[in-house]
Amino acid sequence: MTETSSRAAEAALYRAVWRWHFIAGLVVLPFVLILAVTGGIYLFKDEINNTAHHAVRFVEPSETTLQPSQIVAAALVAHPGSAKAYTPAPALDRSAEVDILGADGLRNTIYVDPHDGTVLGTLWDSGAAGSPAMYVVRKLHSLEYVGWLGNRLIEAAAGWMILLVGTGIYLWLPRGRKNVGTTRIKAARAKGRRGRPWWRDLHAVTGIYTGVFIVFLALTGLPWSGIWGAKFYDTAYDLGLGMPDGYWSGVPLSTVPTEDVVDRAPWIMERQPVPESDGTHAGHHGDMGAGPSGVPDLLDTAVAEAEARGIVPGYAISMPGGPTGVFTASVYPDDITYERVIHIDQYSGAVLYDAGLEDLGTLGRWAEWGISVHMGQEWGLVNQIVLLLACAAMVMLCISAALMWWKRRPQGALGVPPVPVDWRIPRTLLVMAVAAGIFFPLVGLSMLILAAVEIALYLGRRRLVAS
């Protein structure tokens, strides 16, 4: 290949990458904004919840603590219904929580002083989010309000975020062009306002310094996705590197996954089926092993057993669901080395299953660590601040990209970089597109859709010219 043809090929690749970076950026921009803003808020959900609901979440500390059954009974007296879960106070100055399903079909969290049984208040049960407001933020973050389509859109956006970082770095690399490859914002004001070069430098500098964090957030968020996450889970399981076999020997299994009975379980364990209690031990306990107060007979025993096995504070224990249901104690703490899921027979109090991080395969442990960091848990406040800055950088990238587009677009047109005249697709770009489509199926699908739109527009323009 001659030097001239080599330069031509490089220029063609640069133009093609720039065009796709531009188009993909505009398409996923609103989704990236949603992820960044809601993610930045959710990083501080515990601090927000503790401040907004301090009156029900905190109590005067005391060394005297009631039995779990007494706390649940006090909650049921104040708010009749069916007890679904119990969260012991994680510290002496914290309240206990009891989730109750009322006759109206609504599930509420009742906050109880664990030292004297006083009911402090109630909130609509919002699961792991901890409050209705944070529940809304969490649902917006995953677009669950749009159903399965929202999950797919977010998955595609996460995949495109990774590609945008990669193509952005490629475009940033120095090629003798002015202001390309910059590591600082050096463009001056233009006529008293920020000109497009200033926003271009801001976009480039922000991306080059925070790209690795954006890629990390995108990758560690993908395990929750419907297609990529499910495939990752199945592959890890098939390779023996996720949730290994062997725990269920001789234990009857239900068809209910763990995620359906607890608010927050380790991700790799969420799809594992819940074992069944041995109903032959029911004896005089009746339908579900529940006493006249509506509190399961062996709740105190189950709590004591879970704590004797070393489950750390902050755990919750769900009540048995039906005659074959089990007590399930689970915790997802800041330090994931202490994550745990324990299933206990509701009649005999026997432990049917007990697993923690050390029981997982390599990919399972990596996934759990990545998710913990993604949620701002692993390294406390430092973790939260670093990811908050990454979320702010994502917002800034979106703003600078939108402003650059707005400033460069021709009047009355979108201003999309032109298609190469010869329509040849650089081989390197084609290989990148195929690899990305295989690793991120929804990105591949969206690439095909964008390509189909481009071809349709191109053919439409040709017909107009011909006519």
pLDDT digits (tens, 9 = 90+) for 62-78: 999 999 999 999 999 99
The average confidence (pLDDT) of the chain is: 86
Query: Band of the pLDDT at 285, cuts 50, 70, 90?
Result: very low
In sequence order, the 6+-apart residues with CB closer than 8 A to the CB of 207 are 165, 168, 169, 172, 393, 397
Strand segments (E) across 228-358: 253-257, 273-275, 316-318, 326-331, 340-345, 351-356
pLDDT in tens, 117-134: 999 999 999 999 999 999
Segment 384-393, tens digit of pLDDT: 999 999 999 9
DSSP state for residue 80 in the 8-state scheme: -
Distance from the first to the final alpha carbon of the chain: 40
| Span 322-351, pLDDT tens digits | 899 999 999 999 999 999 999 999 999 999
pLDDT digits (tens, 9 = 90+) for 307-318: 999 999 999 999
Residue 369: what pLDDT?
95
Residue 263 DSSP symbol: S
Greater model confidence, 96 or 284 = 96
pLDDT band at 19 (very low <50, low <70, confident <90, very high): confident
Provide the 8-state DSSP code for 449.
H
The pTM (predicted TM-score) of the whole model is 0.89
Six-digit token pair at 268?
A: 């790799």
Give the integer Cα–Cα distance in Å for 415 and 387.
33
* Burial track 160-193 (b if 16+ CB lie within 10 A, e otherwise): bbbbbbbbbeebbeeeeeeeeebeebebeeeeee
Q: What is the pLDDT of residue 177?
A: 54
